[in-house]
């Protein structure tokens, strides 16, 4: 299906596309080592999971296109989320044609594809997100079904680009999967809003599903409270339904409840607690109950894992600036490499996650004004790995 060349009345006009610089790099190296930008490791990805991965990826794009600002460029030299989505749609169609050729012809030569010309002729910036979303999903499911239908002995059938690079169906699938995953990395500026929308839509259900506190979190609260004086004021980043705050207060602390998700804040207010909508990356962190007085501690249980890797140093620095010298930080993030989107669990709408290893996390904390005292490795209820950090304001 060809993208409709129609002008949308509700999508802002984007800057002149001539400000964009064509991408002339040869990306075939991603078949040999992890991508140094998005972190995706194509060579290690389970081939049997490739069809499902394309479907999951499409659902994230569909969610991102719900953003009213999806058609706006954050930089004049980079596509908007809408334009990237149009490109991903075309990628699925082009690769569907190529895989079909490889299944029917012997070592076919692929027709050249001028991606920049496609963007210009397809008027990517003028499309309707409400149309591109469903068509992208349909094209992703089509290529997913095609890969799922490849006979076991046909994965190594070859095909060639005009530059001489030869692919098998398997390497082409991995190459394409990196392409669409990498473009989610390109639009990660939209991840915050999409994650907030996901939690907003499921806040009440999420609160019920996570009402039982894991033993490791309760132990961490006991240790955290023991480090602070009775009645010490604590900034909680990402309070969610307020579960942790209640236990922190029962341990003798005073908690300022905050969350970036309005629905969570409304739940806490409905339950009789003061709570504020706060984005720790940009909002004033001053305690309204005690202006000018720094917090004695910061509690961030499973919240900073939604912060983009490049943005976490800023967030941690801002939290350090709001904390008194010697103040204590607790933070829990998921252990792993790269970044990903989740469309399962207690919230089915796509949520963005950044994964961390211990040493890089220690380095970021130290650079942001925290002295790391302890990093514990924990296993969650679903078998996922967590890093629980205790640090002190330097």
* Residue matched to tokens 């984005």: 279
Token couple for 98? 């190529």
Under 8 Å CB-to-CB from 110, ≥6 apart: which residues? 98, 101, 159, 160, 161, 162
* Predicted local confidence at residue 2, as pLDDT: 37
Residues 356, 333: Cα–Cα separation, whole Å: 7
Asked whether 181 and 38 are in contact (CB, 8 A), the reply is yes
Under 8 Å CB-to-CB from 66, ≥6 apart: which residues? 129, 133, 194, 197
Token couple for 220? 């961490």
Percent helix, strand, coil in the chain (nearest 5)? 45, 20, 35
Residue 251 is classified by DSSP as T
For the chain, count helices (H), then strands (E). 11, 11
* Predicted local confidence at residue 11, as pLDDT: 33
From 241, 245, 237, 199, select the one nearest 346 (Cα to Cα): 199
Q: How many residues in total does the chain contain?
A: 394
Residues 115, 22: Cα–Cα separation, whole Å: 9
Residues 378, 386: Cα–Cα separation, whole Å: 5
324 phi/psi in degrees, rounded to 5: -70, 155
Asked whether 119 and 108 are in contact (CB, 8 A), the reply is no
E strand spans, the chain: 158-160, 166-168, 233-237, 254-259, 275-277, 295-301, 323-334, 339-342, 351-354, 370-379, 385-393
CATH architecture of structural domain 192-393? 3-Layer(aba) Sandwich (3.40)
Please give the chain's pLDDT, 394 residues, in tens: 333 332 223 333 344 445 666 666 789 999 999 999 999 999 999 999 999 999 999 999 999 999 999 999 999 999 999 999 999 999 999 999 999 999 999 999 999 999 999 999 999 999 999 999 999 999 999 999 999 999 999 999 999 999 999 999 999 999 999 999 999 999 999 999 999 999 999 999 999 999 999 999 999 999 999 999 999 999 999 999 999 999 999 999 999 999 999 999 999 999 999 999 999 999 999 999 999 999 999 999 999 999 999 999 999 999 999 999 999 999 999 999 999 999 888 898 999 999 999 999 999 999 999 999 999 999 988 889 999 999 999 9
Question: How many other C-beta atoms are found inside a 10 Å radius of the C-beta of residue 113?
Answer: 15
Token couple for 93? 């169609």
Asked whether 301 and 330 are in contact (CB, 8 A), the reply is yes
| CA dist list (Å): 338 to 28, 37, 187, 341 | 19, 9, 15, 11
Q: What is the CATH number of domain 17-186?
A: 1.20.120.450
* Predicted local confidence at residue 9, as pLDDT: 30
Domain boundaries, the chain: 17-186, 192-393
């Amino acid at each position: 299906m060809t993208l409709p060349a129609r002008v949308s009345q509700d999508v802002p006009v984007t800057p002149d596309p001539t400000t964009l610089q064509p991408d002339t790099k040869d990306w075939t190296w991603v078949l040999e080592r992890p991508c140094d930008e998005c972190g995706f490791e194509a060579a290690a990805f389970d081939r049997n999971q490739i069809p499902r991965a394309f479907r999951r990826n499409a659902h994230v794009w569909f969610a991102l296109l719900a953003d009213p600002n999806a058609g706006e460029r954050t930089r004049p030299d980079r596509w908007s989320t809408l334009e990237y989505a149009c490109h991903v749609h075309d990628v699925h169609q082009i690769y569907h044609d190529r895989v079909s050729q490889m299944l029917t012809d012997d070592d076919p030569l692929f027709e050249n594809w001028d991606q920049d010309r496609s963007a210009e002729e397809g008027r990517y910036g003028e499309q309707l997100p409400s149309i591109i979303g469903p068509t992208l999903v349909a094209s992703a499911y089509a290529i997913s079904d095609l890969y799922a239908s490849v006979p076991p002995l046909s994965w190594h059938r070859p095909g060639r680009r005009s530059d001489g690079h030869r692919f098998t169906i398997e390497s082409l699938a991995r190459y394409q999967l990196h392409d669409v995953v990498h473009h989610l990395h390109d639009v990660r500026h939209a991840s915050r809003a999409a994650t907030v929308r996901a939690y907003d839509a499921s806040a009440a259900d999420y609160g019920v599903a996570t009402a039982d506190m894991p033993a490791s979190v309760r132990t961490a609260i006991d240790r955290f409270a023991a480090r602070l004086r009775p009645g010490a004021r604590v900034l909680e980043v990402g309070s969610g339904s307020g579960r942790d705050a209640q236990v922190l207060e029962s341990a003798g602390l005073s908690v300022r409840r905050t969350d970036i998700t309005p629905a969570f804040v409304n739940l806490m207010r409905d339950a009789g607690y003061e709570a504020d909508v706060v984005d720790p990356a940009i909002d004033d962190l001053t305690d309204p109950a005690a202006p000018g007085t720094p917090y004695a501690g910061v509690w961030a249980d499973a919240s900073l894992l939604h912060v983009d890797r490049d943005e976490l140093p800023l967030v941690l620095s801002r939290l350090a600036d709001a904390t008194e010298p010697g103040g204590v930080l607790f933070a829990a993030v998921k252990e792993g490499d790269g970044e990903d989107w989740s469309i399962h669990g207690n919230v089915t709408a796509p949520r963005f996650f950044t994964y961390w290893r211990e040493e890089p996390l220690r380095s970021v904390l130290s650079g942001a004004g925290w002295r790391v005292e302890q990093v514990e490795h924990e296993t969650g209820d679903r078998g996922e790995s967590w890093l629980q950090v205790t640090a002190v304001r330097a």
